[in-house]
Amino acid sequence: MSAPLPPHAVVFDNDGLLLDTEVAWTRAEVTLFARRDRTFTDAHKRDIIGSSRAVAAAKLERMLELPGQGFALMDELHDLVMEEALAGCPPRPGAIELLDALAAAGRPVALASNSSREFVERTLTVGGVRDRFEIVISADDVEHPKPAPDLYLEACSRLGVDPARSLALEDSPPGVRSAYAAGLYVIGVPYLEGTPLPGAHLVVPSLSDASVHAAVGLAAA
């Protein structure tokens, strides 16, 4: 499948793709585990990154050997990461330049995040990019979050565009599966080096890669 040129719209993921919120998540996860005399490892991070609340709850139960406490753990993690986010959520490499180029070209953009509305709004504001997106869809806005296609379908619906003529930017396996299932052309930009992103039509090391600008119908930055 080749990229639609020009795409009708570009839909961004947030955590680890647009903004480096994963540093905040990791600090929160380290604290959550430390409170239970456990060590949060890179393997844990690779397993949980991009997961929806329900999926992450089940994974935390298994990781911490606390059956039945998954959603309580997620509530605690949410409180921790909301505080950690205030320390800063810098844009990922190439993100601002890509947004600038898309705006200059008049290309519609939206954001589709697997995080809660409260966290998405905080991080976009702290990261200084909230005004870049008229359409922001969070996990609270759909029945089934990623890896289901609902978030991307809702973003395209609100933009009034055809998903098959649109493009998604994702960093995690659940996000790629979501965008692919919705019918978008998917560019994978793995947050953790070496993370396989099956289903991505193109995988690049960062948003500053010239092939990203080419795929969205823009000259390279």
Q: Just list the catalytic residues.
A: 13, 15
Centroid of chain to Cα 19? 9
Question: Which residue is it, tokens 């948003």?
Answer: 207
- Beta-carbon contacts of 18 under 8 Å, excluding residues fewer than 6 positions away, are 12, 91, 92, 95, 111, 127, 129, 169
d(CA 25, CA 154): 26
Whether cis (ω within 30° of 0) applies to the bond prior to 6 is yes
CB 200 within 8 Å of CB 186: yes
Please give the C-alpha separations between residue 9 and each of 21, 103, 136, 162, in angstroms, as whole numbers: 24, 11, 13, 9
